Chains A and B, each alone.
Chain A
Amino acid sequence: MAREAQPHEPVQASPVADIQHHPKDLGSLFARRPLVLGEVEAEYDEFLSRVTRAVKPTDTIETLWVKDVVDLMWEAQRYRRVKAGLLMQVGRQALTEHLTKVKGAGHVEGVRRFTVAELVTAYVEGDSIAVEEVTRILRSRGLDTDMLMAQVLTERLEHIERIDRLIASADARRNRALSEIDRRRDAFARRLRVAANDVIPVADL
């Protein structure tokens, strides 16, 4: 039986030939990747292979669970990306709205350096001059970025809550799949232990 990776050991990349059961061998439906626009097939394949190599499924049922775990982790990551994108979009929008109302936004030392859109982009990219200018403008209006976000988040709270629910749902399913693998392997290990205990006295004789 293949030796399982210990928790403290880094998972060694072994050739695919070492893997007896791989989710893509379960049929065309399982070989199809559940990807959305912007996701890269190679990254999903690499992730699936890494998890498969680490878990080393010993039969078809464990392979089903590996596929579950991978898909659900991928899905949760996707929702997290969507949420981060949404927060970024909301923040940019709010900042643009605020800066548009400020006369002279984008002027540094009396010289027009940025348009509002450029100022927001430079701020998001971490340009030190833009960060300083935006912080100054917000402070002069008694605001900071957290307060700005809090103001606009209420509008999108429903979206964020829904995305959070989907993340929680995917995480719960992943945890259940993991505990099913544990339960099954525990039962198998217990059976092995009982069998081994029976075998030892016979050998001693």
Chain B
Amino acid sequence: MKVAFQTDVGQQRQNNQDYVGFYTNKSGAQFAIVADGMGGHLGGDVASEMAVSHIGYEFERTDDTDIESMVKWLIFELQKENKHILAKANQYDDLFGMGTTLVAVLISGANYLVANIGDSRVYRFRNNELRQLTEDHSLVNELVKQGELTEEAAKHHPQKNIITRTLGVSQDVDADVTIYEFEPDDYLLLCTDGLTNMVDDEQIKTTLMTPTSLEEKCAALIQQANDAGGLDNITALILHQTGEEGAR
């Protein structure tokens, strides 16, 4: 498993509220996490950093490799972190209302789980095919699912930044968790909407196919988002299943 990630403030924002991390636990299981903070006068960057670094830190202390029990661990940590963020938000005026999206990929051997809260995304690139593994928890996507909006209308919807689930903000934590199996040469891309609002699937595909290093791919994706205007913070984390350890 190879990994690279990069985050960038973009062209328009003053500070970077995205946060990204990659961690390995005592038994060699791996954990990639990307968060896009939101809300609060100053809180967005606090919430995303809290979520990534706290859960990442906790992960490093585990020694589990069983994917099913890791699911339970992650759900527990998400609930814990949710309370944590809420408490901080209520404690400081500046942080009131802060929260964060979160996508995480936890890898153990040939299995990995994908967890999602909010509108950051995980894509899988396999056999020349790019597929979004996560479902956006956004108002617009809910409308699309209910048939109220077309995909095309959703793309340029003025309210596309309204998300329906977050970490922090409310008492409830509702994460979608799905377990997948790796195939050799799979790529996973974790990213924030600062990338996907600026760069279309075809460009992402082309970038992943280009024979460059993972670092160069991350940099290229961020460059493309910035070239398209860079309206938001941009984060990309790429995992590449190089085929030895995960293949069965």
A binds B: no
Give me the interface of A with B, judged by CB distance under 8 Å: none
Which B residues fall within an 8 A CB radius of A?
A: none
